[in-house]
Amino acid sequence: MSLFAFPSWPRVCPRCSQLIPHVRLDWRPSSRGRRFMHHQVDGAAIKPPELLRPKQTDGAVSGLKALRSRSSVLRQVADPGHASTRTILGQSAEVPIRARFAPSPTGYLHLGSLRTALFNNLAARASKGGAFILRIEDTDQSRLVQDAEERLLRDLRWAGLSWDEGPDRGGPYGPYRQSERTHIYAHHVRQLLDNGHAYRCFCSPEQVESQKRMLHEEGMPTAYAGTCRAIGPSESQRRAESGEPYGVRFKGDARHRISFRDAVYGLIQMKSTEEDFILVKSDGFPTYHFANVVDDHLMGITHVIRGEEWLISTPKHVALYLAFGWQPPIFAHLSLLVDANGAKLSKREDSVSLSKYQDDLVFPVALLSWLANLGSSFKPKAKTPRTVENMADALTFQFTRGGIKLNFAKLQHFQVSYRKALLSTPDSELSPAEADLIDRHLIQPLLREIDVITEGSNSNSNSNSSSSSSSNNNCSSNNKNNNNKVTAQKLPPAWQTPLDLVPALRSASSRASYVNRIFAATQDRFDCPTRLAQQHPYLFWRVPPSLYLASGATASALDRGILAQLRRAVEESWHDDEPPCLLDGVRRHFCLADSVPIHQVLRLVGAGDRHVVSHSSACMLALLGRDEWRYRFRAISDAWSTVPLRQDHHPSPELATLLPTVTSPLYHLLPPPPSLRSRKRAFTR
């Protein structure tokens, strides 16, 4: 039976009709044989959308598609905002999210912790009125690193993450260092002692360790046996007041199970607690579990977003929330980063260290975009993010489960995409921060590399050969392995000679702007700014005379004719900064079927090699400029004049009739041959 034979919607899909109880549907045939839905929402007529009859080739499939289509339309009719409503970790984006990042200053910021901070920041930014809180968890006094907190704040700022409340900014729920909140923890642990959810433990660490060893030898669980549970409140109070050292343990109940819903892993059910875990240590400082729960509640944290290694500890936290009578926040446990073998990444690995990416001149936004796509993804067709706010708008907040392997090709993709977005933006439209990034990550590293290579090329190559052979191949801003003494052996062999900088790089006033123009023209054609000089040396140094001499030995008569014609065009037609269209007249003059020979000669002049992988001819003309091209034309012409034309390179009779006209000043006025008049292809590549 056709889907349209059903007289009412509830008979077609009772479940969907329950979703929209205020919508009444009537089916009425139209004059064209189609059917329309006439809607009334709470008695008010609305304009009906037209639904076309589905194809009847496959009744079951087409009927299902039509049903889904109508269900979508009806949901939009019942709730006009349904289609545009965005959810973040199971909650509407209209509801504010208060998320936090709580690092411990026992070490430095690494890739995994930066990823956790990023997702917390993005969740808060994506919600309406959300806030991102930075809290320092420094209760483990024995493991604190002296400068760790300072570097944590500096690295977060380098990455572009900002916080609304924190130790340096303050806020309504401060202080934001746990070491300054001990009076708050003392008050709350007293509550647990009074209501019977905690007790004092007078066991020394040696006693606890001895108990664990005995239980392990007997093959039993090594959880704390609850030795001090039986001590009465009055006895416990007396021993505490007498100065006997003690800690405070949570009184768990292993008979009960705790269930909570994780935004990533769904419903989780575990035993409440397998042991009476410590809340406050004998030195008076709280443990992570206790301070974490108290602070999250008092600071109004709505979402706890962290790595999945904390999933096994969540029952302890939920038990504490229940003991206090508090509502637990929404938990979201992120998949861990793993290596190629699926093992958890070690903090000592080079790929985890944040300093590696800083030294490799990775753009902070590119690094964050990469991390955001390790376990989640951007929306389809999302533009390259340029700010953290762009990432918050583009992220789907749909997270995968299981280990996430590092995909460095994806990092390079975001690096190139972001760099291209920066370089394609006019200088007047760049923000001060973006202009500073271009200078620090592109211009200055390349200028340092150029100076190092130039200095090395002009020094004694024998004394520097050892240092050059071990030069750093990584894209690094500090050139750790260069020692300011690197020769031109970084360049192609033909360029390993004393080098002469182009005039634009000799002046301090024009160096940065010249390099910036090269970056704007190159954009995504290089993987690292410091290697751009090695890949395109002709843009930074003048072509060595030896290259011009070598090319003259293989130059044909046509090459020499094209060279003379191009040189004349440059000398007579190029009057302003912008290069004119020099190639059209040269090609018409020689009646060439294509412009390949002309481009090859241009590469010989500009780069010293006709087959070099280089920029387009038009781009090379514009970058090097008129004066530099005139110099190179004179240099190659002088070099070729000393090299006689080989006998097998003498022109053919047909070409010989054309070569005398090379010096004609009216070459650009000649009409093209009839065979070329209809061609509309560009002669500059």
- What is the per-residue pLDDT across 108-142, written as a single tens digit (0 to 9) for each? 999 999 999 999 999 999 999 999 999 999 988 88
Bigger pLDDT: 650 or 267? 267
- Domain boundary among the residues 510, 533, 556 is at 533
Dihedral sign for Cα 406, 411, 414, 418, please.
positive
For 31, the token pair is 């004059």
Q: What is the pLDDT at residue 80?
A: 44
Does 17 reside within a domain? yes
Beta strands in 184-314 (DSSP E): 198-201, 247-250, 257-262, 266-271, 278-280, 303-307
pLDDT classification of 583: cutoffs 50, 70, 90? low
pLDDT at position 657 over 50 = no
* Boundaries of domain holding 485: 432-533
Structural domains of the chain, count: 4
Domain co-membership, 17 together with 48:
yes
- Cα→Cα distances 587→202, 556, 581, 664, Å: 96, 16, 11, 14
Q: Where are the alpha helices (DSSP H) in 35-165?
A: 59-78, 111-126, 148-159
Q: Could you report the per-residue pLDDT of 275-323, keeping only the tens digit for each?
A: 799 999 998 899 999 999 999 999 999 999 999 999 999 999 999 999 9
Average pLDDT over residues 161-179: 96
Does 375 reside within a domain? no
Are the C-beta atoms of 399 and 332 separated by less than 8 Å? yes
Domain co-membership, 43 together with 68:
yes
pLDDT at position 64 over 60 = no
Are the C-beta atoms of 125 and 393 separated by less than 8 Å? no
pLDDT classification of 274: cutoffs 50, 70, 90? low
pLDDT at position 613 over 70 = yes
Bigger pLDDT: 105 or 457? 105
Domain co-membership, 512 together with 554:
no
Centroid of chain to Cα 643: 54
Proportion of the chain above pLDDT 90, given as a percent:
50
Q: What is the pLDDT at residue 577?
A: 66
pLDDT at position 107 over 80 = yes
pLDDT classification of 415: cutoffs 50, 70, 90? very high
**235, containing H or E segment:** helix 233-241
CA distance 631 to 545: 12
Does 135 reside within a domain? no
Domain co-membership, 578 together with 454:
no
**What CATH number should be reported for the domain holding residue 645?**
1.10.10
pLDDT at position 470 over 70 = no
pLDDT classification of 595: cutoffs 50, 70, 90? confident
410 is catalytic: no
Are the C-beta atoms of 424 and 516 separated by less than 8 Å? no
pLDDT at position 326 over 90 = yes
Taking only Cα atoms into account, the Rg of the chain, rounded to an integer number of angstroms, comes to 37
Average pLDDT over residues 335-352: 82
Least confident of 187-201, 482-496, 599-613: 482-496
Does 584 reside within a domain? yes
Domain co-membership, 529 together with 562:
no
Q: What is the pLDDT at residue 331?
A: 97
Are the C-beta atoms of 484 and 455 separated by less than 8 Å? yes
Are the C-beta atoms of 423 and 529 separated by less than 8 Å? no
Are the C-beta atoms of 211 and 281 separated by less than 8 Å? no
Does 418 reside within a domain? no
Domain co-membership, 301 together with 189:
yes
Sheet arrangement for strand 266-271: 131-134, 98-101, 303-307, 330-334, 257-262, 266-271
**What CATH number should be reported for the domain holding residue 269?**
3.40.50.620
pLDDT classification of 242: cutoffs 50, 70, 90? very high
Q: Where are the alpha helices (DSSP H) in 282-377?
A: 288-298, 314-324, 354-359, 364-372
Does 381 reside within a domain? no
625: left (phi over 0), alpha (psi -120 to 50) or beta: left
pLDDT at position 171 over 60 = yes
Bigger pLDDT: 666 or 48? 48
Q: Could you report the per-residue pLDDT of 568-580, keeping only the tens digit for each?
A: 888 887 877 667 6
- Domain boundary among the residues 493, 513, 533 is at 533
Domain co-membership, 529 together with 565:
no
CA distance 632 to 619: 16
Question: Given 55, 128, 271, 347, which residue is catalytic?
Answer: 347
Residue pointed to by tokens 């007078």: 202
Q: What is the pLDDT at residue 573?
A: 78
Domain co-membership, 198 together with 224:
yes
pLDDT classification of 558: cutoffs 50, 70, 90? confident
Q: What is the pLDDT at residue 530?
A: 82
Does 351 reside within a domain? no
**DSSP assigned state of 145:** -
For 436, the token pair is 């500073």
Q: What is the pLDDT at residue 342?
A: 82
pLDDT at position 255 over 60 = yes
pLDDT classification of 239: cutoffs 50, 70, 90? very high
Q: What is the pLDDT at residue 475?
A: 66
Q: What is the pLDDT at residue 684?
A: 39
Q: What is the pLDDT at residue 430?
A: 93
Domain co-membership, 202 together with 289:
yes
Question: What is the number of alpha carbons within 13 Å of residue 8 lying toward its C-beta?
Answer: 6
Q: What is the pLDDT at residue 341?
A: 81
Q: Where are the alpha helices (DSSP H) in 470-616?
A: 511-522, 532-535, 545-554, 557-573, 583-590, 596-607
- Domain boundary among the residues 295, 314, 334 is at 334
Q: What is the pLDDT at residue 344?
A: 79
Domain co-membership, 186 together with 328:
yes
Domain co-membership, 268 together with 186:
yes
Average pLDDT over residues 619-648: 88
Please give the mean pLDDT across all residues of the chain.
Answer: 80
Question: With 0-12 CB in 10 A as exposed, 13-18 as middle and 19+ as buried, what is 184?
Answer: middle
Q: What is the pLDDT at residue 27?
A: 41
CA distance 87 to 84: 10
Q: What is the pLDDT at residue 340?
A: 79
CA distance 172 to 130: 15
pLDDT classification of 653: cutoffs 50, 70, 90? low
Question: What is the number of alpha carbons within 13 Å of residue 256 lying toward its C-beta?
Answer: 12
CA distance 383 to 390: 9
Average pLDDT over residues 616-622: 85
3-state SS, 634-650, equals: HHHHHHHHCCCCCHHHC
Average pLDDT over residues 53-61: 45
- Residue 223 main-chain phi, psi, to 5 deg: -65, 155
Q: What is the largest CA-CA distance in the chain?
A: 120
Does 141 reside within a domain? no
Letter for the amino acid at 63? Answer: G
**91, containing H or E segment:** strand 91-92
Proportion of the chain above pLDDT 70, given as a percent:
74
pLDDT at position 630 over 70 = yes
Question: With 0-12 CB in 10 A as exposed, 13-18 as middle and 19+ as buried, what is 616?
Answer: middle
pLDDT at position 481 over 60 = no
pLDDT at position 169 over 90 = yes
Exposure string of 486-495, with b = 16+ CB inside 10 Å and e = fewer, is: bbbbbbeeeb
- Its pTM stands at 0.77
Average pLDDT over residues 22-38: 41
Strand 330-334 versus strand 303-307 pairing type:
parallel
Domain co-membership, 528 together with 553:
no
